[in-house]
Structure 1
């Protein structure tokens, strides 16, 4: 890796998911929007402002996405450090997050997550025993943008319980069907057995 980046960590002007999808048109490898934007693609409306844009790809496909997102500079993120990758350098095995810098604008545009699943199987990175067929857990918005299903997004958000995570859960809960609630409840029971969201899920 090279020297520390010059961009401040908060220098975000994230793309809308439509811009990411436009730039990835024609790429054959699986990808999908995650985080708060995934929930809003499911809702069909932007329910709150988003500071960033996150999407996930298979670790082995990193080079293909780096090529597709030409014009950006890529930075490995881990343990609070953000370090630029050399043009042909792959992230180390312990790196699961890559920030993408728009060099001309001097802004961060998108956050690429590296996952360990397969083209057929999605694997929850915090507990590899939790997995689902990719075709079942990745949805597609009305505009054709792939996104991770809301119950999987909420399982990730359950760890942090930030204000925005609580708000996202409150908005999503009434729309989750019985199967989605059961899956989310089982995942939270495994990962966070004393979580307050379990009481809410048990009431429905």
Structure 2
């Protein structure tokens, strides 16, 4: 569906974690894909015959009309092949300043766009696990806890540090901070 697109996109969510770990670690209800706000219209171009809805805060789904530019308050797009089918793809719209991904929670948290992009052994582009886990840290569900647990052993020290520092900046008492620090200490001893 997105193969050959002339703008960047990345598999996100739990599938990004599984691509990083190198195996499927849990079941997934849909596929999450990250695109930059500047590239949002690629979704309509590539899925022109799908049902496409924007999730307007605080959670109302509204049909995304062709050519309409989404307001900066909209970060999620839900897509399905037809009105009676299940939601199959969720697009997450993220911010950038041209050369860097920029967190919408705190614009001081950023990463070069090149560093946010990883590619699986089969050639699938996916979101860097530390950025994906930062997204998941906002209000973690059991699947997010699972994803953190599956990922920690595979994170390089720099990735672990970036994730720790990003979470600490936005949520200084977050329970994941200790797990990231203790995991770092265990990795250093190994």
Normalised TM-score (structure 2): 0.89
Indicate the residue corresponding to 2:187 in structure 1: none
In structure 2, list runs of 5 or more residues that go unmatched.
185-190
Give the SS at the match of 1:107: coil
The number of residues matched between the two structures is 182
In structure 1, list runs of 5 or more residues that go unmatched.
1-22
1:135 corresponds to 2:114:
yes
Which of 182, 187, 203 aligns to 2:161? It is 182
Q: Distance in 2 between matches of 1:161 and 1:174?
A: 19
Normalised TM-score (structure 1): 0.83
Tell me if structure 2 keeps the 8 A contact 1:58–1:117: yes
Distance 1:65 1:199, change over 3 A: same
Aligned-residue offset at 1:104:
6.9
1:89 corresponds to 2:68:
yes
Indicate the residue corresponding to 2:147 in structure 1: 168
Q: Distance in 2 between matches of 1:86 and 1:181?
A: 40
Tell me if structure 1 keeps the 8 A contact 2:21–2:150: no
Indicate the residue corresponding to 1:38 in structure 2: 16
Cα RMSD over matched residues?
1.6
Q: Distance in 2 between matches of 1:101 and 1:121?
A: 30
Moved more, 82-91 or 175-184: 82-91
Indicate the residue corresponding to 1:24 in structure 2: 2
Indicate the residue corresponding to 1:62 in structure 2: 40
